[in-house]
Amino acid sequence: MPNYSAILFDLDGTLADTAPDLAYALNTILQQEGYSTLNYETIRPVASNGSAGLLGLGFNITPEHTDYAELQRRLIEVYENNIARETRLFSGMSEVLEQLEQQNIAWGIVTNKPAFLTEPLSEKLGLIGRAGCIVSGDTTDHSKPHPAPMIHACELLSCLPEQCVYIGDAQRDIEAGKNANMHTITARYGYISVHDDPTSWQADAIVDHPSEILKWI
């Protein structure tokens, strides 16, 4: 891989380990509804899939279900109130960001998480003011795998897409990067289901720990 002008990260499951707080929110709602809670290992693989994935797992419902909207509202409320209860950057990620900054390589975040959750979480993680851009799921008219948020991030960083690499832990992340003509890296340490086959996503590289990112820059 060539050297890059910018590195872009997915948030949940790539930059930050948000699954513990998402699991807490889901189990809180399950308890309130009289359901048995789920173990963390069961919830973790769907943590990148938002409220639809969590409610589908916990209640076996889709957004078309009559109870979905109310359960979603309550789930998001619990999560918002506990957004950094246990969430931390993945082990080794702080060193990656420090190295990028020392080399004057711009970095940013492109996530499908809505801004009202992305921004307070980024602030609590100390990323505001460090990230060159933070593009949320509702920043542009489209979300990943559409290239619009990726292109917008490049505009904010004043770089060309082909000069960027996008790192994510879901197939939609790799598709979004490719759709925007970026290089891509799969974060296999993230929230990947046993049913997923990351090798089939055809990213330019696969890493099993954040520290491995450094060898590509």
Chain-centroid distance of CA 25 in Å reads 17
Question: Closest Cα to residue 77, out of 28, 148, 150?
Answer: 28
Beta-carbon-side half-sphere exposure of residue 171 (alpha carbons within 13 Å): 10
Q: Is 12 a catalytic residue?
A: yes
Q: Is 10 a catalytic residue?
A: yes
Other CB atoms within 10 A of residue 154 CB: 27
Cis peptide upstream of residue 145 (ω within 30 degrees of 0)? yes
CB 13 within 8 A of CB 190: yes
Question: Closest Cα to residue 217, out of 102, 88, 89, 90?
Answer: 102
Residues classed as catalytic: 10, 12
